[in-house]
Structure 1
Amino acid sequence: MTRSVWLKADDAVGDWDDRRKRITAGLEAGVDWVLVDAEDVARVRELGDVNVAAFSNGDTQVIDEAEADAAEADAYFVGKEGEGDGTVDLPNDFSGSADLSTLRRTDDRADGAYVRIFGQEYEAFAEAAADEADYTVVVGEDWTIIPLENLIARIGEETDLIAGVTSAEEAKTAFETLEIGSDAVLLDSDDPDEIRDTVDVRDEAERETLDLDWAEVTTVERTGSADRVCVDTGNLLEHDEGMLVGSMSRGLFFVHAETAESPYVASRPFRVNAGAVHAYVRTPDGGTKYLSELKSGDEVQVVNLDGTTREATVGRVKIEQRPMFRVEAETDDGDRVETLLQNAETIKVPTSEGRKAVTDLQVGDEIRLYREEGARHFGESVEESIIEK
């Protein structure tokens, strides 16, 4: 599931200066959406590139093709100053609901519903709205967890369920509720730190945690020169981080980032000297790419020794001809995997004795790697018979 963070920035926040400060903090933190009043859409677009949602009353807000593109929201919501927020009483029979009628129209008047949960009837109303809406925002009042649990259990994939929160801690709870969580959170906060922390919670919720294995090194031999790839990221990497690379998709070797200082070469904490052009590298979506395919702007997966992952943006790829080692390792079940790594002291891999330069690696060392069943076709895991050697 792809999680997202929405930032509430309508007139309830204050005047435009207050709203602008909140939106700017959200843009700097990396929120996915901003929810504003319709008259602010163009002003938000002037501040930066972000998805913009807008409140609409459904009766007067019609998207006119003659309007400037900048004034058009990416999604329109009903519920504010209507039935969704309690301004207008809910009808006894939801078939008479103005908000639901607007959602059911086919002229793009509304894509989403905004519902404050004052009681069970509003919970039922949110469930009815979810049947019609692409996005359903639910904001708990006296109760927050129980209504969210109920809605997660009842609502399927027909809508993106967005939970209203006021802090990163509440966002974490929303993403973990019933072990499924909401698709997104709508954050109502002016605090830049809280906004950043909520974005961090989103990122953590999307990341894999991998089970890394040990394998015994069976061969370390010099080969001829090959086209070697250095992956330079736009992110600083930590000392225990690296990337998963290898000649065989079923066994990817952990190669450390060049974070270590040496008497001869300055550290490059943004770089992983990853191997030859043919090798696979793991990506954040669980797929792989050939090292030769990487280019500026791509994302690669970064992993630490505990198996915790995050994504990093490729800033540059350097391909140069260099002398190489072939490293082969055998797993507990007798499978043998291998990769090519440059013959240089700066390329380091984790062993059971600690970080070791490839030039110091010996037969019998235990080396860290990630194993995965199945073959790869255009980077996607497939179940088919394949021989790699």
Structure 2
Amino acid sequence: MTRSVWLKADDEVGDWEARKRRITAGLEAGVDWVLVDDRDVERVRELGQVNIAAFRNGDVHVMEAEADESDADAAVVGKDGEGDGTVDLPADFSGSADLSTLRADGDGTQGGYVRILNESYEAFAEAVADEAEYTIVIGEDWQIIPLENLIARIGEETDLIAGVQTAAEARTAFETLELGADGVLLDTDDPDEIRETVAVRDETQRESIDLQEAEITAIEQTGSADRVCVDTGNLMDHDEGMLVGSMSRGLFFVHAETAESPYVASRPFRVNAGAVHAYVRTPGGETKYLSELSSGDEVQVVDLDGNTREAIVGRVKIEKRPMFRVQAETESGDRIETLLQNAETIKVASEGGRKAVTDLEVGDRIKVYYEDTARHFGEAVDESIIEK
């Protein structure tokens, strides 16, 4: 599930300088959306690249006229109207001006903004969700129960965005009912809080995988092959690496080059991943051939506990080097293998700790990722494929 962080930066925040400081902090932190008043859209475009949602007048004709003049990525109704209680909520929601606007065929994606003042507004938010691509709900005196109710009742017809003021509240919103909100609308001037909320977003949408042990059954020197070093734009920790292998169903954990050696300085941005034919795991549970990687691509970094994160490829170095063929047997009895460079700096995760591929012996147990499935163009498929 893809999560998003929206940053509230309309005139309730303060004058333009105050809004600008907040927006700049959001851009530096990596928020996905900025929610502003329509008159600020072009100003935000000048600050940097980000998705912009703009509050619009709830009148259909006024909104259509504003849409012709605005470059916002999403139009949001509900401010200064029924959505925030400025205008009395009609007993018959079908007669709502906000709903009428959402049902109109205006330009751009449309969203609805609803402050949950009581149970009637909770029901109104459900009606908005039927029409809006984005449904923004702001809890007042009570937050968790309305959010639980809306998550339970609203399906995939809308992205549910919950109003929060802290990263801790964002975590709760993302975890409520185990499904969580699709996004949060953060209302704070604190740059640290903005960064922490973005970090919570990243953490909650990362995959966690189960690593298992496999026993080395053969290791032998081969001839030279075209070896790939994946140099990322991210520093990796001592317990992190990538999953690579000749067979997509079984990938070997190869450590990043974080360790110092008498001969080579550490390169904590690098994984020496093996030969060009091998697979490397990428975000979303897919794989790519090492030969396909290029600058700007994303690869998956994994630690020894199976926690994952994304890293950006900065450079791929392909050079001819002598190789080892490493073969292992999984817990299910399947044979998997890969080619790794014959060098002391390439280390795998063994039961005794990091171990150089040059020191591996038959009988050693190492960390691997195994899934009993085939792959086609990097995606898991339900078919029989023989790899040997």
Fold shared per TM-score above 0.5:
yes
Out of 162-171 and 103-112, give the one that drifted further.
Answer: 103-112
Give the distance between the partners of 1:168 and 1:46, measured in 2 at CA.
27
Query: Structure 2 CA distance, aligned partners of 1:342 and 1:226?
Result: 9
Distance 1:336 1:196 in 2: 44
Q: Is 1:205 equivalent to 2:204 in the alignment?
A: yes
- Aligned-pair CA distance for 1:61: 2.9
**Which amino acid in the other structure matches residue 387 of structure 1?**
I
- Structure 1 residue 64, shift from structure 2 partner: 6.7
Q: Aligned partner of 1:19: which letter? A: R
Q: Is the 8 A contact 1:58 1:110 kept in 2?
A: no
CA distance, structure 1, for counterparts of residue 107 and residue 146 of structure 2 = 29
Measured after TM superposition, the shift of residue 139 of structure 1 is 0.5
- State how 1:253-292 maps to structure 2 within 5 Å: 253-292=252-291
What are structure 1's unaligned runs of at least 5 residues?
none
**Any conservation in 1 of the 2:74–2:108 contact (CA below 8 Å)?**
no
- Structure 1 residues 70-85: aligned runs within 5 Å: 71-85=70-84
- Cross-structure match for 1:179: 178
The aligned residue for residue 55 of structure 1 is: 55
Percent of residue pairs bearing the same amino acid type: 78
Within-5 A mapping of 1:1-389: 1-59=1-59, 60-62=62-64, 67=69, 71-108=70-107, 111-389=110-388
Contact 2:84 2:115 in 1 (8 A): yes
Q: 2:73, 2:109 within 8 Å by CA — same for their partners in 1?
A: no
Structure 2 residue identity aligned to 1:260: A
State how far apart, in whole Å, the 2-side matches of 1:157 and 1:12 are.
Answer: 30
**Which amino acid in 1 is paired with 2:21?**
K
Q: Letter of the 1:6 partner, please give it.
A: W
Residue 66 of structure 1 and its aligned partner are, at CA, apart by: 6.5
Distance change >3 Å, CA 109–CA 82, structure 1 → 2: farther
CA distance in 1, matches of 2:68, 2:192: 40
TM-score, structure 1 as length reference: 0.98
Instruction: For 2:109 and 2:98, locate their aligned partners in 1 and report how far apart those are by CA, in whole Å.
Output: 9
Q: Deviations over 1:102-139 (max 9, x none)?
A: 00001237600000001000000000000000000000
Q: Is the 8 A contact 1:115 1:126 kept in 2?
A: yes
Aligned residues: 386
Q: Distance in 1 between matches of 2:126 and 2:302?
A: 39
Q: Please list the CA deviations of residues 126-173 of structure 1 after superposition, one character each: whole Å capped at 9, or x if unmatched.
A: 000000000000000011000000000000111000000000100000
Partner Cα distance (1:65, 1:101) in 2 = 16
Q: Is the Cα contact below 8 Å between 2:109 and 2:133 reproduced in 1? A: no
CA contact (8 A) 1:58 1:109 kept: no
CA deviation vs aligned residue, 1:172-192 (integer Å, no higher than 9, x gap)? 000110110010000001101
State the Cα deviation string for residues 35-78 of structure 1 (Å, max 9, x = none). Answer: 000000000010000000000013223257874xxx41000000
Q: RMSD of aligned C-alpha atoms?
A: 1.1
Cα distance, 1:12 vs. partner?
Answer: 0.4
TM-score, normalization: structure 2?
0.98
Q: Per the alignment, in what secondary structure is the counterpart of residue 22 of structure 2? A: helix
